[in-house]
Chain A
Amino acid sequence: MKRDRLLLILYLTAVVAATLVHEPSSLAAALVVLLLLAGHDATRLLRRSLRVILVFNLAVSLGYVLLAWLRGISPWETLLLINLRVLLLTLLTFLFISRVNLFRALDFSPTLSWLLALAYSQALGFQRAHAEFRLALASRCLERPRLIDRYRASAAAAAWFMDRALATARESALALRARGFFDA
C-alpha cells in the first residue's frame, strides 16, 4: 500500500484511540511521542496547536472551574484530561497535514481526490483574495472604517466571490469538455 494512504489510516486510528483513552498519563506520553516524531518541527507545530485551541479551551476551562467550585468538587483532573486530549488531537492533525499529501492518500477514488484538489486550489485563491479585500479597505480608510463601509466592503467581496465562483465553474467545465472528460 502507498505511504500516504497508510499514514492516513494510521492517523485516523490514532485519532479514535486518543478518544478511547481516559488516563492523562497515557495521553501525555502520546503527546511526547508525537513531539519526538515531529523532530525539528516540534516547537512550531506545538505553538500552532496551542494558538488554535487557546480561546475555546480557555473559555471551557474557566467555566468548568466555576462549575466545580459551585458544586464543591475538584476540577483539576478533568481539566487536565480534557485539555491534554484536545492538544493531542490538534497536534496529531497538524503533524498529519505537514507530513502527508492528502490528495495522494485519497487517490483510491480519483473523483474525490480530483474534486478536493480543484476545490482546494480555488479556496486558496479565494483566501488570498479575501485577505486583499480586507487590506484594501484598511488602506482606503483614514481611520477605522465606519460600520456602513464595512458592510459595503463585505457585500462587495461576497458579490465578487459569487461572480468568480460562477465564472470558474463555467470555465473548468469547458476545459474538461475540451479534454474529453465527459465523453467516457
Chain B
Amino acid sequence: MHLPDGFLSPQTYLPAYGLAAGLWWLAARRLRRTLDAERLPWLAAVTALAFVLMMLALPLPGGSSVHATGVALLAVNFGVWTAFLAISLVLALQALLFGVGGVTALAVNALALGLLGSAAAWLAWRAVQPVHEVLALILAGWVSMVVPAAIIALVLGIQPAIAHDAAGRPLFFPFGLAVTLPAVLIPHALLGLGEGLLTWLGTLTLKRLRLRHAV
C-alpha cells in the first residue's frame, strides 16, 4: 500500500523529506561508483519495471485481485540502493505525472517501501538463503510487504497524537494506533504470501533472462 495526500501532518512529512533527500543523495553516489557507464539507462529500465510490477495483479479467488509491489524482487536482484532509487522515481512519476499517490506522502512512502522494505527483504533473503533458497525468496517477499505496512500504520496512527486542535480533534488522519495497526497489518500479512510467490518465481525468470541478455 502507499499513502495518498492530505493525511500526514507537516510535522511528519517535512522531516521525512529531509531524511529521504540525504539518502537519495547517498544512493545516487553509491550507484555512480558501482554501475559506471550504464547506470542511467539501467536505472530507468528498472524504474519502468518497478512501475509496471506495481500495476500487476495478484489474483484472488472470486475474481478480485490486489496489486503486487515488486519491492523484494528488485531488492534481491538489483540491490537495495537501486531498488530504493527506482521505487522513489516510480512514486515521483505516479504523483507528479499520473496523479496517483501523493506529493506530501512521497518521502514517507519512499522510505517505508523503497528503503526499509527493500532492506528488510534483502536481509531476510541473505539470512535464510544458506538454509533454503526458495524459502528465503518467499520470506523476502513477505517481509517486503509487512515491514512497510507496519511503518505506514505507525506513521498514520501517530497523526491524531501529534496533530490535533485545541479541543483534541484530529487535523489529519483521525485514527490511532489501535485502529491502524490491525487494519493495515492483518491484510498485508496475507498479501505478503502472494508477494513471496512473485519474488520467488520472478527471481527464477530474471536469472534466466539476464543470461540471455548478458546484463
B-binding residues in A (CB < 8 A):
12, 15-16, 19-20, 22, 48, 52-53, 56, 60, 63-64, 67, 73, 77-78, 81-82, 85-86, 88-90, 93-94, 96-97, 102, 111, 114-116, 118-120, 122-123, 125-127, 129-130, 144, 147, 150-151, 154-155, 157-159, 161-163, 165-170, 172-173, 176-177, 182
Given A89-B102, A116-B89, A120-B97, does the pair A167, B213 have CB atoms closer than 8 Å?
A: yes
Given A19-B104, A168-B45, does the pair A126, B51 have CB atoms closer than 8 Å?
A: yes
| For the complex of A and B, 7 pairs with smallest distance between CB atoms | A86-B6, A122-B48, A169-B45, A172-B41, A150-B59, A118-B44, A126-B52
- Check A166 against B59 for contact (C-beta < 8 Å): no
19 new A-B contacts, CB < 8 A, other than A52-B4, A60-B174, A97-B96, are A15-B5, A52-B100, A60-B173, A63-B179, A67-B175, A67-B179, A78-B169, A85-B6, A97-B97, A116-B92, A120-B93, A126-B55, A130-B52, A150-B59, A154-B56, A154-B57, A154-B58, A176-B41, A177-B37
Given A89-B104, A120-B93, A127-B55, does the pair A155, B48 have CB atoms closer than 8 Å?
A: no
Q: Given the complex of chains A and B, what is the CA–CA distance between A81 and B204 in angstroms?
A: 49
Residues 94 to 121 of chain B near chain A (Cβ within 8 Å): 95-97, 99-100, 102-104
Chain A residues with CB under 8 A of B14: 16
- Check A173 against B37 for contact (C-beta < 8 Å): yes
- Check B99 against A52 for contact (C-beta < 8 Å): yes
Chain A residues with CB under 8 A of B5: 15, 86, 89-90, 93
19 contacts between A and B (CB under 8 A): A15-B104, A19-B10, A63-B179, A82-B171, A82-B172, A86-B5, A89-B102, A115-B44, A119-B47, A119-B48, A123-B47, A126-B52, A154-B57, A158-B53, A158-B202, A159-B205, A159-B209, A161-B53, A162-B206
Residues 28 to 42 of chain B near chain A (Cβ within 8 Å): 37-38, 40-42
- Check A122 against B44 for contact (C-beta < 8 Å): yes
- Check A169 against B42 for contact (C-beta < 8 Å): yes
Most buried by B among A63, A77, A78, A114: A78
B89 CB to nearest A CB, Å = 6
- Check B48 against A126 for contact (C-beta < 8 Å): yes
- Check A162 against B51 for contact (C-beta < 8 Å): no
Compute the total of residue contacts between A and B using a CB distance below 8 Å: 188
Instruction: Tell me if B154 is interfacial: C-beta within 8 Å of chain A.
Output: no
A177 CB to nearest B CB, Å = 7
Instruction: Tell me if B215 is interfacial: C-beta within 8 Å of chain A.
Output: yes
Q: How large is the interface on B (under 10, 10 to 19, 20 to 34, 35 or more residues)?
A: 35 or more
Q: Given the complex of chains A and B, what is the CA–CA distance between A150 and B194 in angstroms?
A: 13
- Check B215 against A166 for contact (C-beta < 8 Å): yes
**Complex partner residue of A165 from B8, B48, B201, B212, CB under 8 angstroms:** B48
Q: Given the complex of chains A and B, what is the CA–CA distance between A151 and B58 in angstroms?
A: 7
Given A86-B5, A93-B95, does the pair A165, B45 have CB atoms closer than 8 Å?
A: yes
Most buried by B among A53, A88, A161: A161
Chain B residues with CB under 8 A of A67: 174-175, 179
A158 CB to nearest B CB, Å = 6
A136 CB to nearest B CB, Å = 14
B173 CB to nearest A CB, Å = 7
